[in-house]
Amino acid sequence: MSVDLLVHGGDVLTVDEAGTVVRDGAVAVDGGEIVAVGPAAELRTRFAARESIDASGCLVLPGLINTHTHLAMTLMRGVADDVTLQGFLERVLPAEAALLTPGNVAAAVRLAVAESVRAGVTSALDMYWFHEAAQEAARAAGWRLHTGPTFMDVPGPPDGMEYEDRLAWARRDLEARGAARPGERLVLFAHSTYTLSPEQLTGIFALAREFGALIHIHAAENTTEVATVEVKYGKRPVELLDALGLLGDDVLLAHAVDLTGPEIAALARTGTSVAHCPVSNLKLGCGIAPVPRLLSAGVTVGLGTDGAVSSNTLDVLGAVRQAALVHKAAGDPTLVGARQAVRMATIEGARALGLGEQLGSLEAGKRADLVVLDLGAPHLRPLHDPWSTLAYAAHPSDVRDTVVEGRVLLRERTLTTLDEAAVIADLEALARF
């Protein structure tokens, strides 16, 4: 049987339910879909590939999924460090109003895609302005981006659109998109309960649900946000969303740091998922999300980097390491182990997006998003446990090849769909402000 691509010879960490590792394994890909996973000797016999990747001495794993980010914030990396969340917003919001245009967003997203592909990140959920430009830039590079209209009722928004016009605009956007592409999902973004009123939130969620779209919203990022919302509406952010009937299995909360026991129970009861952003939360002094309690309650938790202003990199492997370490600070080293942290960056992230049947593991029938990680460096040897190696030792620089929808976007550490020097130069020209 002829196939488009055969990745063979490495140890394949499938991240299936059993945690199967195929030693000297292979992944066969055709039409953007994984058609077989198994021993390399067997798949080399079964398939004739038009293109191949020799993964000998490497680890093959599912592409990493960034479940919360603002990609075009690469334009402002380093301009709001060592401040609180509220201080961060005071610096970033005026900069966005002055800097953001569709062209600037596209340039910043191209840089973000280059950085992400090099780090083994094959898709991201991106909440930001001018999503159309971001989507076009990502698709031109062959990268998987989940994005859509963003709602944030602030004075002088970067796109100049009055809030009253946004629902009609978002409806037109969803209608124009039609059915989601394989491995993608329609999305609407509601910034937060402190930048949108209950009436606005209700309208946004109703529109999303009319189209079967995922809804992504910041919630309970720090104690100041929670107190602000409680003073304004008499309820904490998650309490408010629950009271409005807005939680559900089509909702993904970003951060969810400041949660009570009843709020965790509400997330579990409604099937609401969480995007855990440990690096951003620590850097902004927001605290540590109660991930062990969320997992114990049965809440699906993915991993995110947040934007490159609050985390400074789009390194999902770094988020894996931080997630596997920070919760142990409570004194229990068994909390959020290596396997759980890696799963949060792969299959659990896919489930948080409602795409667990299409992404997040290397299994026949899923979309072909995968990474080849070179195990040749001293810090990765010996390989006793691939989960441990990924969570505690691997770095983005160890990523050798990245494949999205069966297309090789990084081969032998060289980007194939982006001119890296030009991408960097374009952003540098815009970042002089």
Q: Which two tokens stand for residue 187?
A: 């999305």
List, in order of start, the domains of the chain with CATH numbers. 2-62+361-415 (2.30.40.10), 64-352 (3.20.20.140)
Task: Say if residue 433's pLDDT is above 70.
Answer: no
Amino acid 95: pLDDT = 84
**Which band of pLDDT confidence, cut at 50, 70 and 90, is reported for residue 410?**
very high
**Mean pLDDT (the chain, rounded):** 96
Q: What is the per-residue pLDDT across 155-199, written as a single tens digit (0 to 9) for each?
A: 889 999 988 899 999 999 999 998 889 999 999 999 999 999 999
Inter-residue contact 11 to 341 (CB < 8 Å): no
* Percent of residues, the chain, with pLDDT higher than 70: 100
Amino acid 98: pLDDT = 83
> From edge to edge, which strands make up the β-sheet containing 187-190?
150-151, 187-190, 214-219, 251-255, 273-276, 301-303
Which amino acid does the sequence have at 223?
T
CA 259 to chain CA mean position, Å = 22
Q: Cα 402–405–411 angle (5° rounding)?
A: 25
Amino acid 93: pLDDT = 84
DSSP alpha helices (H): ranges in 196-260?
198-210, 223-233, 237-243
Q: What is the per-residue pLDDT across 54-112, written as a single tens digit (0 to 9) for each?
A: 999 999 999 999 999 999 999 999 988 998 888 888 888 888 888 899 999 999 999 99
Task: Say if residue 17's pLDDT is above 80.
Answer: yes
Task: Say if residue 146's pLDDT is above 80.
Answer: yes
* Percent of residues, the chain, with pLDDT higher than 90: 92
Cα gap 257→267, rounded to integer Å: 13
Task: Say if residue 49's pLDDT is above 80.
Answer: yes
Number of neighbouring beta carbons within 10 Å of residue 376: 10
Any bridge partners for residue 25, and if so which? Answer: 10, 39
Going 66 to 90 to 151 to 148, the CA torsion angle's sign is negative
Phi, psi of 33 (to 5 degrees): -120, 145
Q: Which whole number is the average pLDDT over 380-392?
A: 97
Phi, psi of 2 (to 5 degrees): -85, 135
